[in-house]
Structures are given as structure tokens and as C-alpha cells.
A = this chain, B = another copy of it.
Amino acid sequence: MAGETSRPAADATTDPELACPISPVVDIVFSRWTSPILWSLHAFGRQRFVELERRIEKITPKVLTQRLRQLERDGLVVRTYHPEVPPRVEYEISELGRTLSPLFAQIAEWATTNLDHVERARRHYDEAGAPRG
């Protein structure tokens, strides 16, 4: 979105095509497995591949590699290769990735205050809330 010369401030409330300005962020930051990865790197600092693999249970090496590549490409994660024997690779949050911290904090806060509301709503819905229509 850098080369947008003179578009009349397309606002989400007027432009149907931009119905959701947060979707791009969601695709980048909250796509499958990316939140655990980013959180892990954010909470535990620089880590090796296996550390991440063990920490994020049930993720397969293939998918972990895919997601790390994606995050590296998006500039959120920095990959450092140490040409040793055995080889060693370390991943860490980039500076850009660190700008997500307040966002993550706010989400975590929302979780602690509202997640049980969701749980309750689900139970209520499952018991008697089936839609009529």
C-alpha cells in the first residue's frame, strides 16, 4: 500500500471493497500456527528449531518450517544460521515483530476477562439457543 497516490482517503465506512481493514493483518499475524510461534518467540526469546518444535506441541516440522519461512518473509521473525557441525539455526522476533507486543497483550487481557463469557454463551446456545427461523 505504498504507491497509493491520491486516493480520496478510502474509508472503511464508505468503501465496500475495503470492508475490513484488519483482514490483511489477520492473514499475516493470526494465520494458522503463527500466533503460538510468535508468542513462543516473544515469551521465551531466541530459540532453535527443535525448541520451538517441542514447545509448540503437535506441530509437524514441515508446517513449522513453512510458518517460520512465512514469518521471516513478512519480516516478523529473524532467522540466524550458524554453519557449525551439527548445524544450528536460531529464530527470534524482529523489531517489526516486537511492535506486536501491545497487541498480543491486549488480546491476552481480553482472553482473561471475556473467554469465560464465550464459554457460557456456548453452553447456553447448545442447551436452548438453537435459532428459530
Interface set of A (CB-CB < 8 Å, partner B): 1-2, 12-13, 16-17, 19-26, 28, 30, 35-36, 39-40, 43-44, 54-57, 69, 72-76, 79, 81, 83, 87, 89, 96, 99-100, 102-104, 106-108, 110-111, 113-122, 124-126, 129, 131-133
Contacts and interface: CB of A to CB of B under 8 A. Distances in A.
A1 B118 CA distance: 10
Given A25-B115, A30-B26, A125-B72, A39 B57 contact: no
A51 to B, nearest CB: 10
How many copies the complex holds: the figure is 2
B122 A75 contact: yes
9 contacts: A1-B115, A2-B116, A2-B119, A20-B36, A20-B40, A22-B35, A22-B104, A28-B118, A103-B107
